[in-house]
Amino acid sequence: MGREQIYTILAVAAALVSVLVFSEILCRTWNIGFPNRHATGDQGLFVPDPDPEISYRLKPGFEAPVYGAMVRVNSRGLRESESLAYNGPEEVYRILCLGDSVVFGFGIEQPEAFPAVLERLLTERERSDFEAINTGVPGYNTVQEVRFLETEGFRYHPRLVLLFLVINDPESTRTLDSQGNLLPAPEDIWLRLSQKYGALSPADTSCHTYNAVCRAFFPLTARYRKILGEAVRYQTEEIFTNPSWEACQTALAELRAWSESNAIPVVPVILPVLADFKNHPYKGSYDRLSSACVENGLAPVSAFEALSRYSPEQLRVHPLDGHPGIFGHRIIAEFLADTLKQQGFWSKANG
């Protein structure tokens, strides 16, 4: 090989390296292709609960980074301030928020989760004192949430209860392994798909450029279409044939009975997956959840329209994670503040 050929090869290599370095700098500057720092695992966040219907709860006194954010759990097992008491001042309007990782605030700090944002919004707008209590626990389903209300949540004397429903609520109650880590539900579709197809998401490395390219092309692959197709079939059809779906509906009936016997209103709130809202693949699932609420005497509201004004990318905590980020939680809080006021809860409270 001649000297000129070697120089040419070196020049081409240098140019390629320069392009890659420039591309990496550009991606990092514009926050494109950044790694998902939220997939850290549970990190000892949970402890078993003696009630088999609840199964597990947040570890009282837990304080450590998990899911990419600092998590602090008070002595009563809530991601709330230690000063939160069972009996609040009578002039404070208390809202109890029942839910899973979305309510909990997966991947964000506690003050940015929508219960805390809702509390600040209502206090500012209504010029009155509000408390929105975050009882969210990652992985909870409707059965666990209703049971928590019956055994512990009622002790906070809420004047309104919000039950947040998500796409996998009809699944069975999850448990912990011997190390205290959360196990997937036996029928979990993502476990099944990962066993069949391997990794379910495109690249998630420290190289932003590589991640950006893989994520751009992944939706065009046949593998992606197979994964999505099987997930949609499960979430819109198969999930409603599980025995746990009957348990979910029973829990909704129990919730209505609890509401009537305690004279405390309950509002189910449907939170959709942050996906393509124009052609949302799971819309049928939310119709089933909404119908189940109505059949059991509850009047649900849906955040679908409020969230659909934005792209999923704007709302997500990370491109590879469907949980809402800071902006998504803000939109949910604004939706709740507007919707609940329109339904007259504050005027009823003050009347």
- The predicted pLDDT at position 351 comes to 42
pTM of the full structure: 0.93
pLDDT at 349: 46
Q: Map tokens 């949430």 to a residue.
A: 145
Q: What H or E segment, with its residue span, contains residue 131?
A: strand 130-134
Domain coordinates in residue numbering, the chain: 46-350
DSSP, residue by residue, 26-81: HHHHTT-S---TT----TT-EEE-SSTTT-EEEPTT-EEEETTEEEE--TTSSSS-
3-state SS, residue 245: helix
Q: Give the Cα-Cα-Cα angle 85, 87, 89 (nearest 5 degrees).
A: 105
Low-confidence ranges of the chain (pLDDT < 50): 349-351
Angle formed at CA 40 by CA 34 and CA 46, multiple of 5 degrees = 150
Q: Which of 167, 207, 172 is nearest to 33 (CA)?
A: 207
Which amino acid, residue 60? P
Contact 130, 93 (CB under 8 A): yes
- Sign of the CA dihedral with 131 first, then 135, 138, and 143 last: negative
Residue found by looking up tokens 């792209």 in the block: 311
Q: Which helix (H) or strand (E) holds 148?
A: helix 142-151
- The structural architecture, per CATH, of the domain 46-350 is 3-Layer(aba) Sandwich (3.40)
Long-range contacts of 78-87 (CB under 8 A, 24+ apart): 78/133, 78/134, 78/135, 79/104, 79/105, 79/110, 79/113, 79/134, 79/136, 80/110, 80/133, 80/134, 84/131, 84/133, 84/156, 86/155, 86/156, 86/157, 87/157
HEC-encoded secondary structure of 85-123: CCCCCCCCEEEEEECCHHHHCCCCCHHHCHHHHHHHHHH
End-to-end Cα spacing for the chain = 92
Inter-helix orientation angle 114-126/326-342, to 10° = 50
Of 278, 274, 277, nearest to 319 by C-alpha is 274
- 83 CB neighbour count, 10 Å cutoff: 6
